């Protein structure tokens, strides 16, 4: 039974906070080995957008869009894991901040295999 309180001022969440939430939600998804470096050509395109390791945030026209760069573990279904990442990011942002998300784009940059392991 939560009590609804009226705001007495403005509440602002820094874009970097949104990117951090997306990064932590991504890393909690089973099958994601780690965040990937953002390719240099993409960094040049989004140089003014907030970003942290593996996450670019684009806020324009009151719409929030994430581009998330990951490296997957071997022997996972990449499509299913990517869908799980999208769902985790949307849920985390909705739960913690309550803002709608326009898109969560997943970029699988690599798959990490242990030494001697093959596809």
Write the pLDDT tens digit of every residue in 20-76.
999 999 999 999 999 998 877 666 555 555 567 899 998 877 789 999 999 999 999
Domain ranges of the chain: 15-111
Fold of 15-111: Alpha-Beta Plaits (3.30.70)
Q: Kindly report the pTM of this predicted structure.
A: 0.82
* pLDDT confidence band for 78 (50 / 70 / 90): very high
Say what the pLDDT of residue 62 is: 76
DSSP lists the bridge partners of residue 66 as 57, 104
> What single string gives the DSSP state of each residue in the chain?
-PPP---SS-----HHHHHHHHHHHHHTSTTEEEEPPPPHHHHHHTTTS-EETTEEEEEETTEEEEEEEEEEPTTS-HHHHHHHHHHHHHHHHHHHT----SEEEEEEEEE---TT---
Mean pLDDT score, 5-18:
83
| pLDDT greater than 80 at residue 107 | yes
């Amino acid at each position: 039974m939560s009590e609804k309180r009226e705001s007495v001022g403005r509440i602002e969440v820094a874009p970097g906070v949104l990117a951090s939430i997306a990064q932590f939600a991504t890393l909690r998804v089973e099958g994601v080995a780690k965040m990937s470096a953002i390719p240099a050509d993409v960094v040049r395109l989004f140089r003014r957008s907030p970003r942290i390791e593996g996450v670019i945030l684009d806020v324009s026209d009151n719409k929030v869009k994430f581009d998330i760069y990951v490296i997957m573990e071997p022997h996972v279904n990449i499509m299913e894991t990517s869908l799980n990442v999208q769902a985790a990011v949307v849920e985390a942002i909705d739960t913690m901040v309550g803002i709608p998300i326009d898109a969560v784009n997943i970029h699988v940059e690599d798959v990490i295999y242990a030494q001697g392991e093959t596809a």
